[in-house]
Chains A and B, each alone.
Chain A
Amino acid sequence: MLGAVTLLLVYQLIGEVLVRFTGLPVPGPVVGMLLLFVTLVARGSAPAWLRDTCQGLLSHLSLLFVPAGVGVLLHFKRLGAEWLPIAVALVASTVITIGVTALVMRALQK
């Protein structure tokens, strides 16, 4: 587990450094994810020790955004003032996105 966590942090670090160097407007961890993905493709397999740790980490993915979610209390004023556009935008765009994605995929499957 320690090895896998270290590996993830090393890839994240490389990602962050690359983003700083190139000025790419992409989050560093995303670059790290891409590099790890490329490494796995080149290697031809994902080792079990890495799979286990990643699965453990991702199974608690929703816990990880609780601290940021609590930050909602910094935005009560904004949410109170703009609740209508936010609510309508969220509901409508979620339904539209599900519909469009499904229809395009079905159309291209034929």
Chain B
Amino acid sequence: MSGKFSEIWVYLAASPLLGLTVTLLAYQGAYWLYARAKMNPLANPVAISVAALVALLWFTDTPYPVYFEGAQFVHFLLGPAVVALAVPLYANLETLRRNLLPLGGALLAGSLVAPVSAVAIGWALGASRETLLSLAPKSVTAPIAMGVAEKLGGLPSLTAVLVVSTGILGAVLARGTLNVLRIRDHAVRGFAVGVAAHGIGTARAFQVSETMGAFAGLAMGLNGLLTAFLFPLLLRLWGG
């Protein structure tokens, strides 16, 4: 019986089917938990599914490349998803036009402060160069951040983890921070969360109000775009 089982396991582990299926199962299980926890940001479905899959690979002694063989089909969709961000960005074109100065100014400030503060603090506390480069794009939506980290010479998979952590932190900390600063306007609150905490912050903002969500989504798209272009330029100036 156990001989038969391990035979089947060896067969399945060698095929991409297993890696793909467990990824989808883990995510949907984690999403179910997230919904049960009334979308509490601490029950983030990405964090839960990653933890579950890491544990699974650990216990079954499966190397990451073997898992990725199957998971790459999900991973591949990151590219088209970035292209798809053009559509919500276009939907918000009117809002953008009418608030060009406040949105542009806040975007520029936020997209500079996020990487500079993270890298400065990490550097002051002794983080390594590769960690700093992976940390820099952490406020940007994951698919763009990973592309940027790769171009910079950071570690895209480490960046993915840092991006998710940042999103969760932003979703948890935004309310307190904005209340201390006495920011009441939902447009401002949403935009700030979107710049700092990308998609996870945006998902959170949509739970509070439609306006907050729309501005957060707009901020996420613009910040990703600006960072992708600004970053390599900054680094070039820095280096040369």
Interface residues on B, range: 35 or more
Q: When the two chains form their complex, are residues A26 and B50 in contact, meaning their CB atoms are under 8 A apart?
A: no
Main secondary structure of the interface of B (DSSP, over half): helix
Q: When the two chains form their complex, are residues A94 and B166 in contact, meaning their CB atoms are under 8 A apart?
A: yes
Most buried by B among A67, A86, A106: A67
B229 part of interface (Cβ distance < 8 Å): yes
Cross-chain contact of B26 among A66, A68, A74, A90 (Cβ < 8 A): A66
The segment from B6-14, B35-43, B133-141 that touches chain A is: B133-141
Per-residue contact bits, chain B 84-124, to A (CB 8 Å; 1 contact, 0 not): 11111111010000010111011101100110011101111
A12→B147 CA distance, assembly (Å): 13
With A71-B161, A102-B189 in contact, do A58 and B85 touch (Cβ < 8 Å)? yes
A95 part of interface (Cβ distance < 8 Å): yes
Cross-chain contact of B109 among A54, A55, A104 (Cβ < 8 A): A104
B221 to chain A, nearest CB (A): 8
Cross-chain contact of A100 among B68, B113, B224 (Cβ < 8 A): B113
A41→B91 CA distance, assembly (Å): 10
A108 part of interface (Cβ distance < 8 Å): yes
A9 to chain B, nearest CB (A): 6
B143 part of interface (Cβ distance < 8 Å): yes
Main secondary structure of the interface of A (DSSP, over half): helix
In A4-63, which residues have CB < 8 Å from any B CB?
Answer: 5, 8-9, 11-12, 15, 25-30, 32-34, 36-37, 40-41, 46, 50-51, 53-55, 57-58, 61-63
A8→B103 CA distance, assembly (Å): 27
Q: Please tell me the number of chain A residues within 8 Å of chain B, measured between CB atoms.
A: 69
Nearest chain-B residue to A106 (Cβ)? B188
With A70-B64, A108-B101 in contact, do A33 and B165 touch (Cβ < 8 Å)? no
Q: When the two chains form their complex, are residues A85 and B81 in contact, meaning their CB atoms are under 8 A apart?
A: no
A15→B143 CA distance, assembly (Å): 15
Q: When the two chains form their complex, are residues B64 and A74 in contact, meaning their CB atoms are under 8 A apart?
A: yes
A41→B85 CA distance, assembly (Å): 14
Q: When the two chains form their complex, are residues B173 and A98 in contact, meaning their CB atoms are under 8 A apart?
A: yes
Most buried by B among A40, A62, A104: A62
Cross-chain contact of B142 among A64, A98, A103 (Cβ < 8 A): A64
A63 to chain B, nearest CB (A): 5
Pull 12 A–B residue pairs with CB atoms less than 8 Å apart, ordered by A: A26-B232, A33-B225, A51-B91, A62-B46, A62-B199, A71-B160, A85-B122, A91-B169, A95-B173, A97-B196, A98-B192, A104-B102
Residues of A bordering B, CB below 8 Å: 5, 8-9, 11-12, 15, 25-30, 32-34, 36-37, 40-41, 46, 50-51, 53-55, 57-58, 61-75, 78-79, 82, 84-86, 88-106, 108-109
